[in-house]
Amino acid sequence: KTIDNDIQVIDRSFGFDSSCAEALRAIDSAYVEATTNANCIGLVKLMGRHCGWIATMATLAARHVDVCLIPEMDTNLEKLLDYVAEVMRKKKHAVIVVAEGCGDTIIKGTGEKDAGGNTQLADVGLYLKDEITKHCKSLAIPLTIKYIDPTYMIRSIPANAFDSKYCASLAQAAVHGAMAGFTGITVGKVDDRYVMLPIHAITAQGPRKVDLGSRIFERLLATTEQPSFSA
């Protein structure tokens, strides 16, 4: 199970649409805070351990994010901080979205495992909050940061209408497969058609990531107007 939309082959994972809708609400809240307080940054950390689909799609939907950081990107911290300072000088406010998986790219975790067996990631949200504050202070740029981490809100919301219908259709397709005698399969939508797939067909390829050469990523850059932060 995953709401991160990181499953290969299928069009989307169930819960992804609902999670993006809730993530958008968090971004909108950050925007309101940033634009109604003097010299303010709204900083939002979103889910996405291995990929930045939620951060990317929620940012595209919001249309008022200045910087979106996802694990697939090569992010040089110095370039990032300089750009944030430049935005604050020009606009006096900013909205920054970062996927939690950047806690293993921008900074490195300890490698320890949590109770669920997942590698514990460093808290990149709080790290960026501290680094941006220190950098702007060194440049005498007045700044406050409103930090929002809606992780558990996103995980616990009821499914929206799209996901509710989608899950019902997946459940029906799974029952059809079981009644037909199939084993070792999963069901999903591929090219907008419900299909049955061998489980190994999607698990053997690893998580699906945001392609930095794709049109979706190009739209992200065009929406935020952010530069490349590569070293």
Q: What is the distance between the alpha carbons of residues 99 and 20, in angstroms, rounded to a whole number?
A: 12
Burial of 47-74, coded b for 16+ CB within 10 Å and e otherwise, reads bbbbbbbbbbbbbbebeebbbbbbbbbe
Distance CA 134, CA 38 (A): 18
CA distances from residue 156 to 30, 46, 160 in whole angstroms, order as listed: 20, 14, 12
The residue to which tokens 């320890």 are assigned: 112
Show which residues are catalytic.
4
**What is the C-alpha separation between 186 and 178, in angstroms, rounded?**
10
**176 CB contacts (<8 Å, ≥6 apart)?**
none
